[in-house]
Amino acid sequence: DTEVTQTPKHLVMGMTNKKSLKCEQHMGHRAMYWYKQKAKKPPELMFVYSYEKLSINESVPSRFSPECPNSSLLNLHLHALQPEDSALYLCASSQDRSGLAGGDTQYFGPGTRLTVL
């Protein structure tokens, strides 16, 4: 199974709502990532978890709150978002080859299309 799944596929929320995006992988990967992608732009890294610990936070506003309950699951909690946060949110996972030779390949999910009204 080389699949990363994301739910929901589409999400529309108001600026006062609280919602969560979910990501799951069963490849035994120990690194998981959240990216944000605006239309016709490349994905931008937001957060990285390694072995369930937050490894990288790319100065993301606190209205985005990541959570890694276990090695297979990654959540992104959303609160008080702005219309400019509307984007495709991508989750990815990788084996985490820290200290090992060889590149670490990321596997991406299909994304959640988020619209903030």
Partner 1 sequence: LAKTTQPISMDSYEGQEVNITCSHNNIATNDYITWYQQFPSQGPRFIIQGYKTKVTNEVASLFIPADRKSSTLSLPRVSLSDTAVYYCLVGDTGGFKTIFGAGTRLFVKA
- Interface characters, 28-67, with partner 1 (x: CB under 8 A): ---x-x--------xxxx--x-x----xx-----------
Report whether 41 contacts 26 (CB < 8 A).
Answer: no
Q: Residue 83, SS3?
A: helix
The smaller minimum CB distance to partner 1, of residues 92 and 116, is found at 92
**From the list 22, 63, 79, 113, which residue makes contact with partner 1 (rule: CB under 8 A)?**
113
Determine the interface stretch with partner 1 among 11-19, 66-74, 75-83, 105-113 (rule: CB under 8 A).
105-113
Establish if 74 lies at the interface with partner 1 (CB under 8 A): no
Least distance from partner 1 to the Cβ atom of residue 106, Å = 7
- What does the longest C-alpha to C-alpha distance in the chain come to? 46
CA distance linking residue 12 with residue 114, whole number of Å = 6
Give just the sign of the alpha carbon dihedral 9, 38, 79, 57.
Answer: positive
